Amino acid sequence: MTILFASDLDQTLIYSHRSMGPDVTPEELQVVEHLEGKPQSFMTRRGQKALWELEKSAVFVPVTTRTQEQYERVTGIYRDGQLPRFAVISNGAVILENGQPVRDWSDNIRKQCIDKKTVIEELMPEIKRHFSEEWVLRIRQADDWFVYLIVDREGFPVENLEYYTKVFREIGWGMSLQGRKLYFMPESITKAAAMEYVRDRMEAELVVAAGDSLLDLDLLESADLGFLAAHGEAVRSRSAISSHIQVTEQTGIKAGEEILAGVADISLQSK
Ligand SMILES: [Mg+2]
């Protein structure tokens, strides 16, 4: 039986110093990503071991909003640098098969974005209209697919998020606030659709998914079983969550460990 473990990375399996929480000692940490020579993201040693052990009973598919360049920095999630057969990146706009983008997939997503006018050129004037405040530190474009703002969380008016979400949903863009990043995602770009492609290609019988943010909810909803990190945006937003999705008891980097232990249990029982 082929079991997929389709999981978000940041703040689900891997954590920065800022997001890992207080319940972990430096001795427990394993660096999984370096940025400009400095350690950037971590798992616990136990978490990394659990992920590597999982290879025996399930197929790990990273499903991340990171671009290819950002994703390729996270080398610590693979044993001996062995790339997974499939990885979903750019929130589902790109699927890597053996490290190479599946061209037809992305061409089709691009076409849907153009048809629905959810392209960056259409979005930028709207962003400039609503977000000229000083708490917008930077505006970033991710490989022409979507946009995120780096915001100063101190100044960011969280109480207006619901209003912004409604305004942008009407023109076809989903919003998600993760740490200092405020994402604008075309509705045609979803983690769930890309995961379904991988499910078909792998002829998988069971998909277990994990995530923390609003951009992960469609992935979790379309999986057979899901784990949602308790500290994340999705739980905080009090979105409706189906019964096949379990919220972790732990928060921070220990939630990552809890998810991996849960997935190991499921895959061993299902074998
Ligand atoms: Mg995440």
Please list the pLDDT of the chain residue by residue as tens digits (271 residues): 999 999 999 999 999 999 999 999 999 999 999 999 999 999 999 999 999 999 889 999 999 999 999 999 999 999 887 889 999 999 999 999 999 999 999 999 999 999 999 999 999 999 999 887 889 999 999 999 999 999 998 898 888 999 999 999 999 999 999 989 999 999 999 999 999 999 999 999 999 999 999 999 999 999 999 999 999 999 988 788 999 999 999 999 999 999 999 999 999 888 7
- What confidence score (pLDDT) does residue 113 get? 97
Q: In angstroms, what is the span from residue 8 Cα to ligand 1's centroid?
A: 6
How high is the pLDDT of residue 90?
97
> Residue 139 sits in which domain range?
118-186
Number of domains the chain is built from? 2
Distance 25 CA to ligand 1 centre (A): 22
| Rg, C-alpha atoms of the chain | 18
Could you tell me the distance, in angstroms and rounded to a whole number, from the CA of residue 92 to the centre of ligand 1?
13
Q: How far is the centre of ligand 1, averaged over its atoms, from the C-alpha of 211 (Å)?
A: 6
Name the residue type at position 2.
T
Going from the Cα of 264 to the center of ligand 1, the distance in angstroms, rounded, reads 20
Indicate whether 85 and 137 sit together in one domain: no
Residue 226 token pair: 């899901």
116's CB contacts (< 8 A; 6+ apart) are 172, 186, 187, 188
Query: Is the pTM above the cut of 0.85?
Result: yes
Kindly give the distance from the C-alpha atom of residue 10 to the centroid of ligand 1, in angstroms, as a whole number: 4
Do 34 and 72 reside in the same domain of the chain?
A: yes
- Give yes or no: residues 180 and 200 share one domain: no
End position of a domain, from candidates 186, 205, 228 = 186
Whether 152 and 232 map to the same domain: the answer is no
CA 113 to ligand 1 center in whole angstroms: 23
Token couple for 22: 């207080």
In this structure, the answer to whether residues 24 and 141 fall within a common structural domain is no
* 3-class SS letters over 88-145: EEHHHCEEEECCEECHHHHHHHHHHHHHCCCCHHHHHHHHHHHCCCCCEEEEEEECCC
Quote the longest CA-to-CA distance of the chain: 54
Whole-number Å distance, alpha carbon 152 to ligand 1 midpoint, is: 19
pLDDT at 42: 98
Q: Which of 29, 55, 13, 2 is nearest to 259 (CA)?
A: 13
The per-residue pLDDT for 239 is 80
Do 100 and 171 lie in one domain? The reply is: no
Q: Tell which residue, 135, 144, 75, has the closest CA to residue 106.
A: 144
CATH of the domain at 237: 3.40.50.1000
Position 79 scores a pLDDT of: 87
Tell me: do 72 and 197 sit in the same domain. yes
